[in-house]
Structure 1
Amino acid sequence: MAPKIVRVPLFLVGAVLIFIIGVRIGSNFCEIKQEPYAIDSSLSTATKLNKNLQSIEKKDFKSFSFAYNTTHLWSMRLADDNYYRIARLLPCRTVKYTNGPNQEIMNSCDQSVINEFSVEATLHAQQWLYEHQHPIDCTNKKFAILHSFAWSGFGSTLHQIVWAFGRALAEDRIAIYETPGNWLHGNCKLGTPDCFFRPISNCSIPSKVHGNQTIRMPANTHHWFEPTHPPIFQNQSFNWYRSQLLFYLIRYNPETLAYVQSTVAKYFNPPSVDSHRPYIAVYVRRSDKVRGREMSQSYSLQQYFDLFDTDARLAKITKVYVNSEDQKVFSEFDQLNKNKQGYYKLLSIDATRDVTFPTLISMPVEQRSKIILEFLTDLYIEVNADLHVGTLTSNWCRLVDEMRFVLEYDDDDDGGRILRLKENSASCTS
C-alpha cells in the first residue's frame, strides 16, 4: 500500500513538535503509557447490517430518508461472532486523549463511553449531519464556503477540513466547498474532496456572497484549538464529535468504492476483506517522520508485532495486513515470520512506496490521483480489520482510529455493548 505522506506532527514521548513544509498545522500531543502504538478490535461484516439495524426500535429510523440510507452505510461493519470472541478475550484498556478542549480518558469497559459510541448514536448523528447539509430547500440558509485547503499530507488536510466543517455547523451554517478548489489530492474539475467522496451538500454556492448570510471560511489554518459544537451535540465528547464529522466527510463515492473493492479483489484471494477475517492491520510509519524527528527513532516491525502477538495467538488470528511507505518492512516480515515458524499469513496489495509530500506534489496530477486511490484502499482495509496497530504520531493512523470510533460498538448477546479494545494507552488529539 502507498505510504501516507506528511501529516500533522504529534508528540511521541518527549518529542518536540515541529512545522513541516511551512504549513501552519497546530499543536498536538499524545499521552502514551507504554509504546507509541495502538491496537483496536473492529466491528465486522456488512452481512450483519440488516439484522443489527432491525434490532433498533423502529421509531429511531422513521425519519430516515432513502437517500440517507443509500449514502451513509458504505463501510458499516457491525459485530459478528468473531468480533465478540476477540473482544471478550482482550482485557479492558484505558486511553488518555490530551490537548483537546478537555482531557478525555476512555476506558473500554466504561458504560458511559460505551453508550456514547453506540451504533444508535452514530446513526442519529449521521442522519442529523446529512439532513443539515441536504435541506429540502436551500433558500435563505446560512452558508460557509470552505476554501484554501492545506498543502499538506492527506490526513493533515482532512483534519483541517473537519475543523472548518465543525466551525460552520457551530454557527448553524451549511458547509459547501468553493469550486474549483485547490485540493491537491484530487484530479477532477471540482478540486475538492468531492472528487473522491460523497458530496458534502446538495446546495450550491449562492450567487451573492455578502453580509452574514454567506461567509468564506479557510480550511487550512486550524486543528480544533477551541472546538464548539452545535446545540444538538453540546454534551458529546470531543473525540466522538470529531470522529462523526470525519466519517460524514469521507463517505466514498461510487467510483472510489468501486476502485477500492476491485483492488482488494485483485490482491486478496478470496476477493474481499470479509473473507479474510479475522485479520490484523499493521501500519509502520518511518521515512520523513524519523528524518523530521517527529519520531525519536525508526521502530522495527518486530516491535509492532511484540505488542499484539500474544493476543493474536490467544484469539487465534493468523492473518496480518502489513503496510508501510518503507519497502524494507516486507523483508522484515519474511524474517520475523520465519522466526515465528510461519504463524502469520501476509495480506498486502501492490502499491507505490517511498512517497513523501515533496515527491507527491511534484508528480503529474493523474499519478497523484492514483496514489490517493491507493491510500483510500488502504484506509478501507485498515478500518475494517479486527485489530489495528500503528503509530498515533501519524495523521493517517488517527484517521483510521477515528473511523473505527464511529463503527466500533454494537450489542452483544446479552444486550450490553463492547468497545473495540486498545492494546496500549496511546492516543492523540489536536
Structure 2
Amino acid sequence: MRFLIHHLLYALTLLPQISAEIPSHTLPLLTSQDPSNLLAPPPQPKKQSHHTLVSTALYDQDSIDSWPDYFDHLDEDGLAPLTKEVQKWIWERQNPKEEECEGGRFLVTDGWASGLGSAVHVIGHHLGSALEDSRILLYNPSSSGAGSLYADPGCNRSSPTTTFDCFFRPLSTCSHAHALSSPDTTHVKTSHAVPRPYNGAPTYWRERLREELGEGLTDAFIKYWWRAQSAAYVMRLNGETAREVRALRMEEKRQKVWTREGEVSGMPFPLPGGVVGMHVRHGDKGHEMNLVPLETFMQAFHTLTSQNPLHFRSHAFISSENPSVIASASHLPTAFAPSTPAFPTTNLVIYTTDIPRINTSPFEQLNRFGKSRMTHFWLLQMMMQLECSAWIGTRGSNWNRLVDELRCVWVDRCAGVYVEVGSKGDWGEYNW
C-alpha cells in the first residue's frame, strides 16, 4: 500500500511538468481536481445495439439517396436469400440515366383498387412482368388504383398527380411523359393478367435462386420470394412520408403501454428485443378468409414465449382496425397468470397505438378519417411491427403478408419466428 501511495504522490508532483508539454485544449481533462481522471480511460460513447441500429434506419429512409445503400447495415444472413443482389438489380433497371429514358420500353400500370397491401402486391406483380420483358414500370397518373384511393388530392402538397408517389419513392427516374412519347409502351389494367406472363419471379431470378439454394424449389416459394422483394421496392418511403411516420412514432401520448397496473407512460424506441408483433385483421376481410379472434393469437403467444423463455419476454405489440381488439388487449395484463413455471415473467406488457379505428373496409376508414392521414397511420403500424422480434398473424391478409415479407427485406429479422394462426387454405399459393 505504501508503495502505491508513494508512486501516486510522485505522479502528482509531475503534473506541472506534464501540463506544460501537453496542448492547452487537453488541459481541462488532465488537470481536473479529481485525481482519478488521470488513471481512468476516456469515456466511450455507448455502442448502439444492432437491433436499435436496424430499427432506427428503418425510420430514416429519407437519409438514403441510392436505394442499394440502405442495405449496407443489414446482416445478409438475416435477410431473405439474395435480397441485396435483387434490390440492386431492380433499382438499376428501373432507374436508368435520364438520357436512356428517351425512347425506352415501358409498362404503365393502373394499379389495383383494393386494400393497400393488396394494391402493393399487384403492383409488385406488374413489376415482375415489366422486368421480365426488359421494360420499366411506371404508374398511370390518372388511375385511382395507382394512388388516389389512398392519398388526398395532390398529395396535400400541390402535386400535379396523385399516385403512390405521395407516399413512396417514384418507381423510376423516367417519367410518364417518357412513356407517352415512346413508341414501345404497353398498359396493364387488371391485377392478374399481365402483358408478359412469368412464373412466380422473373426468369433470371428463378435461375439465380436455384444456383444459390439448389434444385427442388417450389413455384410457391419463388412466388412468395418475389412478392417480398417487389413489395419492398415499391414501398420505399419517400422523404415526406418517412418524416411523418417518424414523427408519429415519437409522439409519446400516441404510444400506449399496458401493464397489470393499467396504462403507464414511456413506450421505448425501438421496441425492445423479444417483443412479439401481432396484426389482428378483421374489418371486411371475413368475405375472403376466416377471421381469427384475439384469443387465438394470445394462445399462440403464450405457447411461443413459454417454450422460448430465454429469448422472449411477455411483451406484445398489437395492431388491428377493430377497436374492440385493442380495447380487449389493453385489459389482458391485469388478468394475466403464467400457465407454466417456465414462463419468462409474471408480468404481461401490451403495446398499442392510439390511431383512428373502425371495424370495416379500408376505404371507409380512408373516407372517414382522411386518406393521407389514415395511410400514414397504417404505415406507422407496419413499421412498429417491423421493430418486433417474432410475429403471429394470418397470411390470408395481404397486410400480414407484408409484415412477413418486409421483416425479411427492410430489416434483417427473417430468422425470427412467424406463427401462422389462420387457415392454410386462406393464403396457400397466394390465391392467384
| TM-score of the two chains, using structure 1 as the length reference | 0.66
Q: Does structure 2 retain, via aligned residues, the 8 Å contact 1:161–1:219?
A: no
Q: 1:252 aligns with which of 233, 237, 252?
A: 237
Structure-2 separation of matches of 1:296 and 1:69:
37
Q: 2:202 aligns with which of 229, 241, 251?
A: 229
Question: Which residue of the partner structure matches residue 380 of structure 1?
Answer: 383
* 1:88-237 map, 5 Å: 117-118=80-81, 121-136=82-97, 137-147=100-110, 149-182=111-144, 183=147, 184-187=149-152, 188=155, 189=159, 190-206=161-177, 209=180, 213-218=184-189, 220-221=191-192, 226-231=199-204, 234-236=207-209, 237=222
> Which amino acid is the alignment partner of residue 295 of structure 1?
N
Cα deviation for residue 384 of structure 1 reads 2.5
Deviation digits for residues 246-304 of structure 1 (CA, Å, limit 9, x no counterpart): 101101111111111111111356676325333221111223233x3620664525334
Question: Which residue of the partner structure matches residue 8 of structure 1?
Answer: none
Aligned length: 326
* 1:235-314 map, 5 Å: 235-236=208-209, 237-267=222-252, 268=255, 273-274=269-270, 276-290=272-286, 292=287, 294-295=289-290, 298-300=293-295, 301-311=297-307, 313-314=309-310
Identity of aligned residues (%): 22
Question: Which residue of the partner structure matches residue 346 of structure 1?
Answer: 350
Question: Which residue of the partner structure matches residue 67 of structure 1?
Answer: 65
State the secondary structure of the residue aligned to 2:51.
coil
Structure-2 separation of matches of 1:320 and 1:299:
12
Q: Does structure 2 retain, via aligned residues, the 8 Å contact 1:279–1:318?
A: yes
Cα deviation for residue 226 of structure 1 reads 4.4
> Which amino acid is the alignment partner of residue 369 of structure 1?
S
Structure-2 separation of matches of 1:353 and 1:208:
39
State the secondary structure of the residue aligned to 1:214.
strand
Question: Which residue of the partner structure matches residue 328 of structure 1?
Answer: 324
CA RMSD of superposed structures (Å): 3.5
Any stretches of 5+ residues in structure 1 without a counterpart? Answer: 1-42, 51-65, 80-113, 411-417
Deviation digits for residues 177-199 of structure 1 (CA, Å, limit 9, x no counterpart): 12243121122242221110111
Question: Which residue of the partner structure matches residue 313 of structure 2?
Answer: 317
Deviation digits for residues 332-373 of structure 1 (CA, Å, limit 9, x no counterpart): 334432232562222121111115337527726x71221111
Structure-2 separation of matches of 1:128 and 1:343:
47
State the secondary structure of the residue aligned to 1:405.
coil
| TM-score of the two chains, using structure 2 as the length reference | 0.65
Structure number with greater Rg is 2
Deviates more, 1:278-287 or 1:225-234: 225-234
Cα deviation for residue 160 of structure 1 reads 1.0
Question: Which residue of the partner structure matches residue 394 of structure 1?
Answer: 397
Structure-2 separation of matches of 1:48 and 1:391:
23
Any stretches of 5+ residues in structure 2 without a counterpart? Answer: 1-49, 58-63, 210-221, 256-264, 338-345
Deviation digits for residues 400-422 of structure 1 (CA, Å, limit 9, x no counterpart): 11112225658xxxxxxx82333
Structure-1 separation of matches of 2:406 and 2:366:
29
- Bigger helix fraction: 2
Deviation digits for residues 123-173 of structure 1 (CA, Å, limit 9, x no counterpart): 2211111111110131232111112x2221111111111111111111010
